[in-house]
Structure 1
């Protein structure tokens, strides 16, 4: 059933072009929109990861599609070191292979263990090419061995096939379109619709998880702290439930699930996917193969709208392809990123730009800079016409008291994510206080996962407190305000709205910031209430 509420169309309030053209001032707070980088040869060393984190990177993605398990383990180790050096939180997202079909090609490993191919495959328009399930076949410009043994049974004359390079982007030529002429046993005989130069891992688009996926998830969740599974080719809410059952079986109950929407079937089941998943990725490259060009912008806006209304983080891909090779994005790419922010997107997922791009750090800085400026123009007051009234005091207090910051004590994350759903004009500092929990003969610290998982939610800035004292203590509040002042999230004399829970009731506490290292000077109002979100 379609939601009864709808998001308002964005209207730009400032129409004064001279003032818009003035040199952009960098806001004192971190951009609300989050940027995620795919780790690969161009950015996996510790020094580059440090630069990325200090530039504002919120999360790192490990894609199992390409590269050995050991290669990705080293990337995760490097990320741990970079986080320790910078003392900055970074969420880890593990991307599954899933239903993606691969062209089998011989490869060699470079000095760091990254798979490479010596030769490219050149295809000419109009030539005949065979896609085969023959395991003895060798990949060439006339024959492509495919990984799925039942592929031929799926095809019939007249079908269109797409073969693309891993993380293909609009700036390269590794996109091949084929038309099926006939099916002969194991062979699918096709005609090339266009010229193409195929390099790297080649994919064409079936179990939800491959054996590699299951092995990697079990291995990495034991050795590292994985925050999200990015479920490739999610087709319905049932896929998300199946993934959750697998995570529960292996004891990874703290890992959340991002549903990756990549085809028409997923769009048709979008409501069930959003309801079941913890977050959604719109894989715009693959969606572009199923959706007509004239429909893509409307589909994106509608999908983002649905996620916003449900309070589920929504992330988009394929952002600044040009920056794989160039230090600056195009006008169209910059406009695309800004418009996505105005539409209400939570995060931007960089793929080839950081995995193999020449300007990984510059790309993160550029995208964040565009997001910051778009956020300054975002119509916070009118964006949600029905939800503002249901947000009640939590949503209106920042304006009533001219507050500069919201601090939310986060236990389960529900309150913080609900506040973020309504897009307040000020940053939200989500204070997470870890708890020691007994685990057999050992102890584990609960809370770190939650803090990092906030990294994909727009407007939320997680702060991991020390595992000591009461979560609602005055001392903890004073320390949080002090940290916020040092980070430039709030200024002296501004008000801070604090949201906390006291014996099951919600309390809103408004304090003003003192000049003395941010210690709350006076308490302007305390209001106790039942759950304002019920």
Structure 2
């Protein structure tokens, strides 16, 4: 969360009125190292000069001394290590980012050589040290306070009730599967947020090394390419992205990519390389894209969202669903579960008849509570690529043996037409349950 929960109360309330189906994601800070400039006066750093990083936050930040929020840095780094300091959600193109090289440690202080000239302005800067372990918990006490605040904060509008708990928690700097388990236990035991899905943010070598175990435990993955780009050589970042997205796709877990159009923080149009990068993220299998500095402090936030959306739309047109389906089938294993078998049949049919959409009815079977139970799950489903959730009347579940399903189907088809996904004479594959039997059928729309 880029602002305090109380500051965001009104914007989220308005958003919930305008778009009640939109989910809420809370981002943790995690064990992030920070440079603290209490005076907020600009600090000029000159290349080839030296600056001292100190954990003594009582001292005033200046060109020779930068207070930080971590006492263990001197024990964690070695001479020659690289340290990066930049704005929160740095783009890398500003003149407000600086690279340092560790020269020596003196007690708890770290003496560094400044590699490039820069001016630090503002109260807070993030500090990233390449490929070291930071001995701090992934879900910090500060994060826990924010999550606890977020729970009653979201529930403050009584008409929202349990429907508006946070839908996603992004766990910054996830390093092990145990980080996910601890966060899940905290959400369940202290916040009554059992339904909240946890997305692991992979931001450093530790998270990358334990990626497989993290993927197994998390509900989804966020590839934080900005921080990863500091830990990894530039020529390796694309390899990790492709491998990570492939693993997420095969595991059936949503994958999100960050840092795509940094230049739009200050410019109306992205570079050609950035536009291609967005398209490649879609073609590689990303479910969603998170914008950062472009919408947090950028000059063109609305234009950025619109531009990235159009690029994603065009890339989706040429995405090879047939190849993706065949790859996924190899990882499904045999024998398939009943649900996987039905889903596989529906997708295979859609590919062969070139269907515009697959409509799938799903229900818990507990009609009395399904209206409340499924609202958060419907919102959370929005992060899954190509999935558009709709809530049907719980008094007419998909398992009904009468013609009710056709009524619900008509509503779904009308929604598809209104959104432009379906048009006249298109073919649509429908998955539904009739009595105790699962049925896959193909329908062709009339005028």
Asked if Structure 1 and Structure 2 have the same fold, meaning a TM-score greater than 0.5 normalized by the shorter chain, the answer is yes
Where structure 2 has 5 or more consecutive residues not aligned to the other structure, the ranges are 129-135, 155-164, 333-342
State the match for 1:211 in structure 2: 141
Deviations 1:439-493, CA, capped at 9 Å, x for gaps: xxxxx82211111111211111122334433244322222222222222221233
Q: For 1:325, which of 252, 266, 271 is the aligned residue?
A: 266
Aligned length: 412
Where structure 1 has 5 or more consecutive residues not aligned to the other structure, the ranges are 1-61, 108-116, 413-432, 439-443, 516-534
Of Structure 1 and Structure 2, the greater helix share is in 2
Q: For 1:171, which of 93, 108, 122 is the aligned residue?
A: 93
Aligned-residue offset at 1:382: 2.1
State the match for 2:307 in structure 1: 366
Aligned-residue offset at 1:159: 2.5
State the match for 1:463 in structure 2: 390
The alignment partner of 1:84 has SS state of helix
Aligned-residue offset at 1:285: 0.8
Cα distance in 1 for partners of 2:232, 2:366 equals 44
* TM-score (norm. length: structure 2): 0.86
The alignment partner of 2:429 has SS state of strand
State the match for 1:494 in structure 2: 426
Q: Are positions 1:84 and 2:17 aligned together?
A: yes
Q: Is contact 1:257–1:279 with CA below 8 Å preserved after alignment?
A: yes
Deviations 1:232-287, CA, capped at 9 Å, x for gaps: 00012111111111111122100000000011111111111111111101111111
Q: Are positions 1:95 and 2:95 aligned together?
A: no
Cα distance in 1 for partners of 2:441, 2:398 equals 14
**Mean Cα deviation higher: 331-340 or 472-481:** 472-481
Deviations 1:298-352, CA, capped at 9 Å, x for gaps: 1211111111111111111111011111110111100111111111111111000
Instruction: Map 1:164-203; keep pairs closer than 5 Å.
Output: 164-200=86-122, 201-203=124-126
Deviations 1:33-54, CA, capped at 9 Å, x for gaps: xxxxxxxxxxxxxxxxxxxxxx
State the match for 2:132 in structure 1: none
The alignment partner of 2:52 has SS state of strand
Instruction: Map 1:62-77; keep pairs closer than 5 Å.
Output: 62-63=1-2, 67-71=3-7, 73-74=8-9, 77=10
Aligned-residue offset at 1:368: 0.9
Aligned-residue offset at 1:435: 5.8
Distance 1:293 1:468, change over 3 A: same
Cα distance in 2 for partners of 1:466, 1:396 equals 29
Aligned-residue offset at 1:436: 5.5
Distance 1:293 1:402, change over 3 A: closer
Distance 1:507 1:196, change over 3 A: same
Q: Is contact 1:434–1:447 with CA below 8 Å preserved after alignment?
A: no
Q: Is contact 2:246–2:285 with CA below 8 Å preserved after alignment?
A: yes
The alignment partner of 2:321 has SS state of coil
Q: Are positions 1:286 and 2:227 aligned together?
A: yes
Of Structure 1 and Structure 2, the greater strand share is in 1
Q: Are positions 1:409 and 2:361 aligned together?
A: yes
Instruction: Map 1:239-278; keep pairs closer than 5 Å.
Output: 239-250=179-190, 251-278=192-219
Q: Is contact 1:124–1:195 with CA below 8 Å preserved after alignment?
A: yes
CA RMSD of superposed structures (Å): 2.3
Q: Is contact 1:388–1:395 with CA below 8 Å preserved after alignment?
A: no
Q: Is contact 2:294–2:301 with CA below 8 Å preserved after alignment?
A: yes
Distance 1:410 1:355, change over 3 A: farther
Instruction: Map 1:125-524; keep pairs closer than 5 Å.
Output: 125-200=47-122, 201-205=124-128, 206-224=136-154, 225-250=165-190, 251-388=192-329, 392-411=344-363, 437=369, 445-472=372-399, 473-474=404-405, 475-502=407-434, 505-515=437-447
Cα distance in 1 for partners of 2:413, 2:178 equals 43
Cα distance in 2 for partners of 1:378, 1:199 equals 43
Cα distance in 1 for partners of 2:435, 2:227 equals 48
Q: Is contact 1:500–1:506 with CA below 8 Å preserved after alignment?
A: yes
* TM-score (norm. length: structure 1): 0.73
State the match for 2:157 in structure 1: none
Q: Is contact 1:434–1:465 with CA below 8 Å preserved after alignment?
A: no
The alignment partner of 2:6 has SS state of helix
Deviations 1:59-92, CA, capped at 9 Å, x for gaps: xxx23xxx43432x33xx313313423x462221
Distance 1:152 1:396, change over 3 A: same
Distance 1:82 1:180, change over 3 A: same
The alignment partner of 1:490 has SS state of coil
Q: Is contact 1:240–1:277 with CA below 8 Å preserved after alignment?
A: yes
The alignment partner of 1:178 has SS state of strand
The alignment partner of 1:382 has SS state of helix
The alignment partner of 1:383 has SS state of helix
Q: Which has the higher contact order (CA 8 A, sep 6+)?
A: 1
Q: Is contact 1:139–1:145 with CA below 8 Å preserved after alignment?
A: yes
Cα distance in 2 for partners of 1:504, 1:189 equals 71
Cα distance in 2 for partners of 1:455, 1:204 equals 33
Cα distance in 1 for partners of 2:144, 2:279 equals 37
